[in-house]
């Protein structure tokens, strides 16, 4: 599985176009059930709105869905979907609520409003890259601590708070593959006394 970009949590943005309000809610969703749950949450919050347009993109089966929810065909849901794709995001849903302001916007106006509100919500979201990572753990003498930390730093690792006991235990997460030079480096550093423990690969924001 390749690295991918998504958002953490949720975000919201609002624009106004000729007195119509467009409120865009973006959220992380890694399954269709999660996406639809979020859609229902927004619908329940905005029951009096004229439209609750949505689109989502999932890694699972490469699934993509959108709905114009009563707006003219391809003027609402499709622009939302295209804005998500343009941002290079997946496992993401955006629901745009429209409160009608009394003035028709026309096809071009609707496309611009739904695109702009979606883009604004995604710009305010926390975007993360999910990568295949491993955790490396070493237990070593205090005299080797500073040089061990330097090795982890050179590997681009995120180091947890060390545990200081009879020896020092250091645990760090790094992109898969970055651990390969570390294994012989720790062997050399400790003259074979340190045996790093490497986890199975897992996907996590990094």
Task: Give the model's pLDDT for residue 16.
Answer: 94
Q: Residues in the chain with pLDDT < 70?
A: 1
Task: Give the model's pLDDT for residue 60.
Answer: 86
Asked if 83 contacts 94 with a C-beta cutoff of 8 angstroms, the reply is yes
Q: Using alpha carbons only, what angle is made at residue 199 by residues 196 and 201, rounded to the nearest 5 degrees?
A: 135
Residue with tokens 């720790």: 186
**Of 10, 26, 30, 11, nearest in space to 130 by CA:** 30
For the chain, the C-alpha Rg in angstroms (whole number) is 24
Asked if 131 contacts 174 with a C-beta cutoff of 8 angstroms, the reply is no
Per-residue burial over 66-89, b if 16 or more Cβ lie within 10 Å, else e, is bbbbebeeebbbbbbbbbbeebeb
d(CA 17, CA 14): 10
Task: Give the model's pLDDT for residue 1.
Answer: 64
Asked if 29 contacts 58 with a C-beta cutoff of 8 angstroms, the reply is yes
Task: Give the model's pLDDT for residue 61.
Answer: 87
Cβ neighbors of 29 (< 8 A, separation 6 or more) are 35, 38, 56, 58, 91, 92, 93
Q: Using alpha carbons only, what angle is made at residue 157 by residues 154 and 163, rounded to the nearest 5 degrees?
A: 110
Task: Give the model's pLDDT for residue 2.
Answer: 83
């Amino acid at each position: 599985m390749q690295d991918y970009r998504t958002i953490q949590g949720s975000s919201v943005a609002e624009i106004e176009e000729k007195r119509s309000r467009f409120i865009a809610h973006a959220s992380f969703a890694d399954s269709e059930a999660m996406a639809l749950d979020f859609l229902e949450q927004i619908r329940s919050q905005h029951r009096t709105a004229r439209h609750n347009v949505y689109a989502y993109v999932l890694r699972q089966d490469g699934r993509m869905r959108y709905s114009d929810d009563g707006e003219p065909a391809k003027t609402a849901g499709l622009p939302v979907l295209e804005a998500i794709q343009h941002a290079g995001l997946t496992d993401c849903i955006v629901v745009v609520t429209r409160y009608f302001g009394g003035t028709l916007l026309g096809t071009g106006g609707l496309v611009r409003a739904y695109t702009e509100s979606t883009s604004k919500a995604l710009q305010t979201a926390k975007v993360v890259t999910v990568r295949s990572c491993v955790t490396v753990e070493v237990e070593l003498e205090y005299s080797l601590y500073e040089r061990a930390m330097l090795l982890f730093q050179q590997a681009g690792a995120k180091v947890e708070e060390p545990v200081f006991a009879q020896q020092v235990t250091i645990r760090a997460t790094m992109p898969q593959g970055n651990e390969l030079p570390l294994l012989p480096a720790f062997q050399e550093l400790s003259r074979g006394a340190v045996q790093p423990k490497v986890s199975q690969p897992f996907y996590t924001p990094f």
